Each structure stands twice: as C-alpha cells, then as structure tokens.
Amino acid sequence: MADTDGRARIVCTGLSKAFPGGLRAVAPLDVTFDAGATTALVGPSGCGKSTLLRLIAGLEEPSEGEVRIDNLTPARQRSRGAISVAFQDPSLLPWLTVRANVALARKLARQPPDPVLVEDLIGLVGLSGSEDTRPAALSGGMRQRAAIARALATRPQILLLDEPFGAVDELTRRQLARDLPPLWQPRGTTTLLVTHSIHEAVTLADRILVLSPRPARIVADIAVPLPRPRGPEMTDSAEFRALVTRTSEALAQGDADNAPMAAQ
Ligand SMILES: Nc1ncnc2c1ncn2[C@@H]1O[C@H](COP(=O)(O)OP(=O)(O)OP(=O)(O)O)[C@@H](O)[C@H]1O
C-alpha cells in the first residue's frame, strides 16, 4: 500500500513534448512545484496545459527532459497510488453507481475500503442523494463532482485537476472552489489545477503560472499570499482584485508577445 501521508515535490527539467507530425505543445520547461502547494496553470486555449498535466501524471512520455516526483518517475508514483487525476471529461465507469465509482478508486490503489470517507466525499461535493445513481443519469457538472470525489478517495499526495469545475454553473463553481480545497490543502497534497477562470485561480492557488500560447512556456510566476479561507469577503478585497488584474495582464502580455509566432 502506498504511503499517502507524505508530501511530494514535482521537478520538471528541460521538459518538452512534440506530438508526431512535429506539433510542439510544451516548450522546454524548468519548473518545480513545492510539496503541499496548490498551483494554478492558466493560459490560452490549446497552449499545452493539459499536455503538461498529462506529462506530470505519466500519461504522456516527454519528447525531451523529465519529470521527477520525489526522485521517482510519474509512472512509478502512479503505480504506488500517489497520484490522482480529475480531468475535463470524467471517465466514470458507466455500469457503476456514484458510490461504487468513488469506492473503486481505493481498490485500484490497493487501499483498504473506507465507506465513511466515500460517503463524506460524496456529501462534500454535493452529491448526497445521488449515491446510487449511474453516471448516465447525472448532469455534466454532477459527473465532474463525482470525479473529484473519486480523485480524493485515495488521499493522494499529488492531485492533478484539469478544468475540474468546467461543466458547472458559475455560482456552484465558486462554491466548489471555496468548499473543496479544505479537503486536500490541510493534508499537504501537492495540487496542480488547470483553469480558464482567473477568479478560480486566485481563490484556490498559492501560486499561479501563466503560460504562453503553444508551445507552453512560463510567462509569469505569481505568488498568491492571501489568507484562507477565501470567502466572499476576501474575493471582494482590493488584494484579491489586484491579483486578478495582474494575472489577466500577464495573460494578455503572453498572447501579445507570441502573436508573430502564433501567426506562423
Ligand atoms: N495526442 C495528441 N496528438 C496530437 N496533438 C495533440 C495531442 N494532444 C494534444 N495535442 C495538441 O497539442 C496542443 C495542446 O493541447 P492541450 O490539450 O495540452 O492544450 P490546453 O492548453 O489544455 O487546451 P484547452 O485549454 O483548450 O483545454 C493542441 O494544439 C492540441 O491539438
């Protein structure tokens, strides 16, 4: 069984990815994600955010460079059950109920059953009453929330979230952004979150990496030193708004700097 109580540091060195045919999604990147921190990745559509996450998850092989998580390869960490992912298109098993999908994650990670944790997580993502429902009968947003509960069920060291709240309405999205991080942040889970919402990035993250248009390179590395919890009082504050503005400006600047390349 994996030791899932430690904190894991992710180190990317000269990491790049070109797909067959030569399309380069990730430029050589040197970046370290500190153990226990939540980092939001923001960047224009198609810039390579998901590819970067998939490289870190060990679901893609780098063309050059490497990812090491506490000196082990992502594949090795995955086999230890240390990494959980919740991606845009949640791949829940259609023949299993919400409860069984969430519980299965523990079984696959060779962890003992924990029905109390499973029920708690289902409640926390707002799916109480839908425990016995199968994915086909859930809305897109409900499926995403089930996928988040499933990702958390193994108490992972590394949590990789790709647009986890993409299919939910703005109000629920803000509520989830406020209510879910306390599930993993106090445990020291190293979290990477891809999002198109700058508001969500500032609400959730300790650090925001702004990426350029494809191939992704880092155009800004912004610390978010705001106290938690980041409820409405915080999100209405001048400090919060200043970070939103700074991130938006970096995003616009990254786009402008790359305009000639993007046009090629
Ligand atoms: N398996 C693949 N084979 C070929 N090209 C790919 C593959 N996966 C992704 N790409 C391409 O790599 C580029 C980056 O894709 P990626 O999904 O990483 O971007 P993204 O920043 O996550 O986009 P979005 O914000 O729209 O989800 C895109 O041009 C995409 O078409």
Residue bearing the CA closest to ligand 1, atom 14: 48
Give the model's pLDDT for residue 57. Answer: 94
Q: How far is the CA of 47 from the centre of ligand 1 (A)?
A: 7
pLDDT of residue 87: 82
Per the prediction, the chain carries an average pLDDT of 89
What pTM was estimated for this model as a whole? 0.90
**How many CB atoms neighbour CB 193 within 10 A?**
26
Q: pLDDT value at position 259?
A: 62
Question: Ligand 1 centre from 206 Cα, in Å?
Answer: 25
User: Which phi and psi (to 5°) does residue 10 adopt?
Assistant: -110, 125
Residue 234 CA to ligand 1 centre (angstroms): 34
The rounded distance, in Å, linking the Cα atoms of 259 and 44 is 12
- What number is the ipTM of this complex? 0.96
Give the distance (Å) from ligand 1 centre to CA of residue 59.
13
Mutate to test the pocket of ligand 1, among 15, 16, 17, 23 (most ligand atoms within 8 A of CB): 23
**pLDDT above 50: residue 255:** yes
Residue 4: pLDDT band with limits 50, 70, 90: very low
Which pLDDT belongs to residue 140?
82
CATH fold label, 1-82+188-264: Rossmann fold (3.40.50)
Question: Which residue has the least CA distance to atom 26 on ligand 1?
Answer: 45
In testing the pocket of ligand 1, which one of 41, 50, 61, 217 has its CB within 8 Å of the most ligand atoms?
50
Size (the chain), residues: 264
Over residues 69-78, the mean pLDDT reads 93
Residue 16, helix vs strand vs coil: strand
Cβ 68 vs Cβ 13: under 8 Å: yes
Compute, in angstroms, the gap from residue 26 CA to the centroid of ligand 1.
10
Cα(57) to ligand 1 centroid in Å equals 15
Pocket of ligand 1, candidates 24, 41, 47: which has the most ligand atoms within 8 Å of its Cβ, to mutate?
47
Q: Is the pLDDT of residue 262 over 50?
A: no
Q: For 44-58, 87-101, 171-185, 221-235, which range has the lowest pLDDT when averaged over its residues?
A: 171-185
The protein residue with its alpha carbon nearest to ligand 1, atom 16, reads 48
Predicted pLDDT of residue 31: 97
**Which residues does ligand 1 sit against, CB inside 6 Å?**
19, 23, 25, 43, 45-51, 214
What is the Å distance from ligand 1's center to 87 Cα?
A: 13
3-state SS assignment for residue 67: strand
Do residues 104 and 93 make contact, with C-beta atoms less than 8 angstroms apart? Answer: yes
Stretch 156-162: mean pLDDT: 93
How far apart are the C-alpha atoms of 240 and 80, rounded to whole Å? 38
pLDDT in tens, 162-193: 988 877 788 878 777 777 888 788 888 999 99
